[in-house]
Amino acid sequence: MTLWWAVLGAGIGCYLLKIAGLSVPARILGNPLVARIADLIPVALLSALVTVQVLAAPEGRALVLDARVLALGVAVLLLLARAPFLVVVFGSAAAAALVRLL
Partner 1 sequence: MVRDSLGVAVATGTYGLSFGAVGVASGLSLAQTCALSLVMFTGASQFALAGVLGSGGTALAGALTALLLGTRNALYGLRMAPLLGYRGWRRYAAAHVLIDESTAMGATRPTRELARTGFVTTGATIFVLWNLSTLLGALAGGRLGDPRDLGLDAAVGAAFLALLWPRLTTPALRATAALAAVVAAGAVTVTPAGVPVLVAAGVAVLVGALSR
Residues 40-79 that bind partner 1 (CB under 8 A): 40-56, 58, 60-63, 67-68, 71-72, 74-76, 79
In angstroms, give the least distance from the CB of 52 to partner 1: 5
What is the C-alpha to C-alpha distance for residues 43 and 6, in angstroms, rounded to an integer? 23
Q: Name 6's Cβ contacts closer than 8 Å, sequence gap at least 6.
A: none
6 binds partner 1 (CB under 8 A): yes
In angstroms, give the least distance from the CB of 87 to partner 1: 10
Query: Which of 29, 5, 6 has its CA nearest to residue 17?
Result: 29
What is the C-alpha to C-alpha distance for residues 91 and 96, in angstroms, rounded to an integer? 9
**For residues 11-40, which are near partner 1 according to CB under 8 A?**
11-15, 17-24, 26, 29-30, 33, 35-40
**How many other β-carbons are positioned within 10 Å of the β-carbon of residue 102?**
5
The count of chain residues that interact with partner 1, using the rule CB under 8 A, is: 76
**How many other β-carbons are positioned within 10 Å of the β-carbon of residue 93?**
13
2 binds partner 1 (CB under 8 A): yes
In angstroms, give the least distance from the CB of 73 to partner 1: 10
